[in-house]
Chain A
Amino acid sequence: MSNYFNTLPLREQLNQLGVCDFMDSGEFLDGVNVLKGKKLVIVGCGAQGLNQGLNLRDSGLDVSYTLRKEAIEGKRDSWKNATENNFTVGTYEELIPSADVVVNLTPDKQHTAVVNAIMPLMKQGATLLYSHGFNIVEEGMQIRKDITVIMVAPKCPGSEVRAEYVRGFGVPTLIAVHPENNPEGKGLAQAKAYCVGTGGHRAGVLRSSFVAEVKSDLMGEQTILCGLLQTGSILSFDKMIEKGIDAGYASKLVQYGVEVITEALKHGGVTGMMDRLSNPAKIKAFEVSEELKDIMRPLFQKHQDDIMSGEFSRVMMEDWANGDKNLLAWRAATGETAFEKTPAGDVKIAEQEYFDNYTLMVAFVRAGVELAFETMVQAGIKPESAYYESLHETPLIANTIARKKLFEMNRVISDTAEYGCYLFDQACKPLLKDFMTKVDTDLVGKNFNEGKDGGVDNQSLIAINEALRTHQVETIGAKLRKAMTAMKSIKTA
């Protein structure tokens, strides 16, 4: 198998990277009809598998689960998830041959093995559905020519996919059809119907391609989403300890700070987040983030280049073949950081205090979101796709950090995200060494406004507001967020 993207001529590469159409809700009026009466068989019953299946069944579709023999005989968690919710569960041999649509919701790392096992069992003209394109694009998996290959990717964790559905909403979703596998031309209609079945059509659907999804998803998760939040958190905590801030306070500020700060990002974009700061703090955060953008730009570009060339996935798959040597070492190192080992103190931190005392993180988030977005767009990814993989997902990872800190956050994100996160973090920390020596507690640990009179220069404030508000991630974000009406606020501790 060879990297699919690299087999394409440049013209076709650009073509597929550029598939990006924010769909009108009128395109979903046919509901789930295309899939009504068809047999949907989901492979895997983890968080995405279970919750998507619950939604699809509640939308009137016929859903069952297939698991490996060992999972069924061992009554593993996936088996329990499916049977306790009264789904039919069977082996590949029992369920795949009669399936009209096989939904592959197993972890990325298992895709090649899973697809090789199920493909011979699939009936003529069936459909194979992915929620991430890594296997097709980076591993170059070849699917039998009579099979239709589509993607439906809800851009939220599985529990959220269910929670939003039962309240009558949905989560933003990407859909795609693999151009090499659309023999009957039914791919798009089936992807739309599946999307309605999970509720995604109520929150904004982006028509994308396997290529655009993979190249933007990998970039987002390595840089701003997981990588930079990890680097920023560790550096902030270490700085506070160095400057004598109480360790329990520092730990709590870092663990919950990203969540509170990015909650503002979720509702109002970078502008909304920066507006939570006082004027002097906003000017400072702007300046600091400009500096951070300059320092980190080459690193963001290197990550994007390696993703585009396939170098990233080649090296990662080497590590998979090598028994995850690098991954496990990095994972262990994350578990050993001082932040990870210091429990959050029993102190009350008010919501606004997270902004005032953690201005540095606001600067990190602005720098990371804008850089990731800019770098993706420069590489040929469309702004809508870039938005979902940068700004949109940042609060979701931040919520995971608030719940689990870094070590466990890395354990629950995807295989590719965890590897990419460590890779970025390893390279980014040394880059920021000089920058961090200049940082003091006014930016992290204490209230930035303390001892200042709050006065600012009109002209510079106007210029900064202008720069923030007219950035493309803001203009495109305003449009896309409108489709995700009445987003639920996360209830925090």
Chain B
Amino acid sequence: MVGDAAAMNDILHRYQAQGRRHAALVGLLALAALAALVLDLTTGPAGLPLGDTLRALTGGQVSRGAQVIVWDVRLPVACMALLVGAALALAGAEMQTVLENPLAEPFTLGVSASAALGAAVAIVLGLTVPGLPPVWGVSANAFVFAVGALMLLQLLGRIRGGGPEVLILFGVALNFTAAALLSLVQFVASADALQQLVFWSMGSLAATQWPGVAMVAVVLALAVPFSLRASWKLTALRLGQDQAQSFGVDVAALRRWTLLRVGVLSAAAVSMVGVIGFVGLAGPHIARLLVGENHRVFLPASLLTGALVMSLASTLSKTVVPGVLLPIGLVTSLIGLPIFFALILRGRRR
């Protein structure tokens, strides 16, 4: 028996060591995201040297121009990239778990398309939430439409029993409906509005301002503690609804609250920067490969991977074609596409 106890302790130690390794990986991801942020800050059409950028950030001696470029142009954009990536990947990770589908994310469930439709209604038809300053009209509309889409999804799901397959199918239908309505609005739009709209529906960080960054940051900060609190429940749900329920999880409530929480989170993100595809899909899948699916580390790892990918995409969007700022949604889609195919092929092999 003494030998058994020693063997058990050895296994437990190895398990705990694995936990520490995963925590260290999460820490590394955080550092990498930070490094990507600095890289993002140093790239741009103004060609500011790294030294000047760092001096401007730390309050050192730099020209007024450099000060403005770093603090008012690059920093809000770079922070927004991190935050939006984090929000979409966290939302994607939780959606994949509660809907028991590896392809679920804000984009595939129609949240992004609905946000784009909301923006289009504001840009082209001039209809928006009354009483708001005009600069916020487009984002407010996008937010309202995205949250509305989720509410509709939940409502339809509830009527049909709320199973994950039903929610996924409704989400996909919603995606196509929103896309079709978006085309309709584009069809009647003026050339000027159309240009604005096309840019918006490809996702862009260009119009980022500090209040928007603050808004996404606040929503993310509010959502994360709840996500972490639910991490063992979500882990249990990976064993199926019956198992989670027999472990004492109220699965229907978990599904409802998680979708609401990450829905608002992704709506906040896409309402600020437009349609960004694949970060919500790629972030969680990369995180899963790195740390597995214990949601205590999987959720933070997803969040940070999303932030890292989005930040790198932001840098790429400025550097791939010199002198041209590509829409960031285009860049993430191009990065995400190969991952998406790899996943399908991996699924086929299983």
A binds B: no
A interface residues, Cβ below 8 angstroms from B:
none
